[in-house]
Amino acid sequence: MRPLAPPAARTALVALAALATLTACGGSPAADSAAGRDGGGAKGAKGTVTIRIPDPGNAGVLARGKKDGSLDKALAAVGAKVAWTGSAGPFAPAAQAMNADQLDIATGSITSGITSLSQSPGFVFFTATAPDPVGEGILVREGSDIDSVEDLVGRKVAVNKGGTGEYLLLKALAKAGIPADKVERVYLRPDQTAAVFNAGQVDAWAVWSTYAVAEIGSGKAHFVADGTAIGSDNYSLNAVRSGFVKEHPEVVEALYAYLHDNSAKEKRDPAAYLNVFTDAGPTAVNGKAKEVQIAFTAKSGTVDPIKPEDIKRFETVAGFYADQKVTPNKVDIAAHLLDIEKLS
């Protein structure tokens, strides 16, 4: 028997399970438009439900599923199909797109999720992947005189505001007993930080594997503290638009099953999920960087249901963000979680 969630979490999960069984009569305008686009729901409908997902690029479970047709097959079994919309990137704009009924699924960290939840969210989280023990951390250039978190005092560290980078830095400083104002946070978009970091305009970069792999693979940078050393609770989560899960719970269940099963396969054989469409050009990972990525993925987590013990750690992060003034108040993360195992 699974252990019970904390009271607030139990209330949220029960409410969300009920949400998923509501009929279209009580649906939101966003949900109604989702059904109207494709002629109705996935079961007993004349049309096919379209689920809008950011394009996965050249690596990962969704990229491989896009190429080999296995994702199409899994979704077709419940009367659905994918529309690849835009490209995968930071969670904040993806959250805004879900709120505007322009996207149905997005992936992000618990940290960026919490900041997005503080702004009238129209989405819920339905999966959890354990924090990355080795692929995220505080990156410094080779030859730097920064040998520990304590050495960051008086330095400039690049972070993405309200997301993984800011969390990792603040968490590392708190664990080391260093006041946050002793280190200068330089707010930059992750995709614009590498040039600034390599030019020496910042002393360190709080970052995750998406961007760290290239830097470490080049032999020009290393982590002075990784996720394990920092004590990171930075889960990766998948979110679904609230209106979509109300109308099409069986589609969300099918997508979860696909992500869960194939993330386990990716962990066992990371190389098979790299360079899915091309092994050349800016989206390809080769040489030492490929070795680094394979090592990171082999130690990463899998896509799993959100469990009570996960919720406790989510709430710890929400409290930490409020204490650090990243959010004005503690975000009620439990109110925006979906128990995928009790959806139907």
Architecture of domain 137-230: 3-Layer(aba) Sandwich (3.40)
Average pLDDT over residues 142-169: 97
pLDDT tier, 146 (very low <50, low <70, confident <90, very high otherwise): very high
* Residue 1 clears pLDDT 70, i.e. is over it: no
If one compares 190 and 2, the residue with the highest pLDDT of the two is: 190
pLDDT tier, 334 (very low <50, low <70, confident <90, very high otherwise): very high
pLDDT tier, 126 (very low <50, low <70, confident <90, very high otherwise): very high
Predicted pLDDT of residue 262: 98
Average pLDDT over residues 203-208: 98
* Residue 14 clears pLDDT 80, i.e. is over it: no
* Residue 82 clears pLDDT 60, i.e. is over it: yes
Average pLDDT over residues 131-150: 97
Least confident interval from 85-99, 263-277, 282-296, 307-321: 85-99
* CATH 3.40.190.10 segments of the chain: 7-131+234-281+303-342, 137-230
If one compares 93 and 261, the residue with the highest pLDDT of the two is: 261
Average pLDDT over residues 43-55: 79
* Residue 6 clears pLDDT 80, i.e. is over it: no
Tens digit of pLDDT for each residue in 263-304? 999 999 999 999 999 999 999 999 999 999 999 999 999 999
| Domain 7-131+234-281+303-342 class, CATH top level | alpha beta
Predicted pLDDT of residue 120: 75
Average pLDDT over residues 107-136: 93
Predicted pLDDT of residue 47: 80
Average pLDDT over residues 164-192: 97
If one compares 233 and 20, the residue with the highest pLDDT of the two is: 233
Q: Which structure tokens are listed for 129?
A: 């992947």
